[in-house]
């Protein structure tokens, strides 16, 4: 039995437990649809470790490089409800090497496809870039809405949570960090 089938059985059991009629027209294929969705949302758990840190020769050493407003969708590990928003990344290349721009998007996609919390996602992306590309500093800012706060609990629609993580010069040099935020 494959993962999809196991998840579909669990979803069927869940729907029965909450009092739903699985013979209802709208629910007949729901367990299979939900199992496929779960596989997609959590695909990062089954992928090999992210290693696509291809860099290119560049003249930009010492100057900030940004990729901003990278959209992402993830799932809160506390309630298994979505949170979503955008990621902005800036870094100071070193050794005359810059990371291919698409790699930022791929890294965000990779780490957001697993249950997490926003603070951990922010720190992980910063750490991965700091450890895997030549740099003098990395900054990551995530702005997100959390359905676990909007649909349940405090029910605060449209509240934005902002998290940030810095390394290198962007962590220790206030002027460089100020420059990061001014240009973002």
Tokens 């969708």 -> residue: 73
Give me the catalytic one of 20, 39, 79, 179: 79
pLDDT in tens, 43-54: 999 888 999 999
Cα atoms in the 13 Å half-sphere on the side-chain side of 124 = 16
Marked catalytic residue, from 118, 126, 128, 164: 118
Domain boundaries, the chain: 3-41, 55-183
Give CA–CA dist 56/17, Å, rounded. Answer: 55
Options 47, 77, 119, 131, the catalytic residue: 77
In a 3-state reduction of DSSP, which class is residue 21?
coil
Instruction: List the catalytic residue out of 109, 126, 128, 146.
Output: 146
Judge whether 118 counts as a catalytic residue: yes
pLDDT of residue 11: 94
Neighbours of 170 (CB within 10 A): 27
Closest CA to 90 of 69, 59, 121: 69
The per-residue pLDDT for range 79-89, each reduced to its tens digit, is 999 999 999 99
Q: Is 78 noted as a catalytic residue in this protein? A: yes
Catalytic residue among 39, 148, 150, 179: 148
Average pLDDT, the chain: 93
Q: Which fold has domain 55-183?
A: GTP Cyclohydrolase I, domain 2 (3.30.1130)
Give pLDDT tens digits for 17-71: 999 999 999 999 999 999 999 999 999 998 889 999 999 998 877 889 999 999 9
pLDDT at 127 (0 to 100): 98
pLDDT at 156: 86
69: annotated active-site residue: no
Q: Is 126 one of the annotated active-site residues of the chain?
A: no
Task: Determine which one of 29, 63, 69, 78 is catalytic.
Answer: 78
User: Average pLDDT of 1-20?
Assistant: 89
- Whole-number Å distance between alpha carbons of 77 and 104: 23
Kindly tell me if the per-residue pLDDT of 1 is higher than 70.
no
Separation CA 123–CA 140 (nearest Å): 8
- Annotated active-site residue 164? The verdict is no
Which helix or strand (DSSP H or E) is residue 69 part of?
Answer: strand 65-76
Q: CA 131, 83, 67: angle at the middle one, nearest 5?
A: 45
Name the residue with higher pLDDT: 72 or 180: 72
pTM of the model: 0.91
pLDDT at 120 over 70: yes
**Measuring CA to CA, which residue among 123, 130, 142, 141 is closest to residue 99?**
130
CATH homologous superfamily of 3-41 equals GTP cyclohydrolase I, N-terminal domain (1.10.286.10)
Q: Catalytic: 77?
A: yes
Q: Using the Cα atoms of residue 53, residue 67, residue 144 and residue 7 in order, give the sign of their dihedral.
A: negative
Q: What is the pLDDT of residues 145-162, one digit of tens each?
A: 999 999 988 888 889 999
């Amino acid at each position: 039995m494959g993962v999809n089938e196991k998840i579909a059985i669990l979803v069927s059991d869940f729907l029965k437990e909450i009092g739903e009629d699985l013979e209802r027209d709208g629910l007949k294929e729901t367990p299979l649809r939900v199992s496929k969705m779960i596989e997609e949302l959590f695909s990062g758990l089954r992928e090999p470790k992210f290693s696509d840190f291809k860099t290119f020769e560049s003249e930009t050493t010492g100057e900030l490089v940004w990729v901003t407003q990278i959209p992402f969708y993830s799932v809160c590990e506390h309630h298994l409800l979505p949170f979503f928003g955008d990621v902005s990344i800036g870094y100071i290349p070193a050794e005359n090497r810059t990371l291919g721009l698409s790699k930022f998007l791929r890294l965000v996609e990779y780490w957001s496809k697993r249950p997490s919390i926003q603070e951990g996602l922010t720190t992980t992306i910063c750490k991965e870039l700091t450890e895997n590309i030549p740099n003098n500093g990395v900054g990551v800012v995530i702005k997100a809405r959390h359905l676990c706060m909007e649909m349940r609990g405090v029910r605060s629609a449209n509240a934005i949570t902002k998290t940030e993580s810095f390394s290198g010069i962007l962590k220790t040099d206030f002027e460089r960090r100020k420059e990061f935020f001014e240009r973002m």
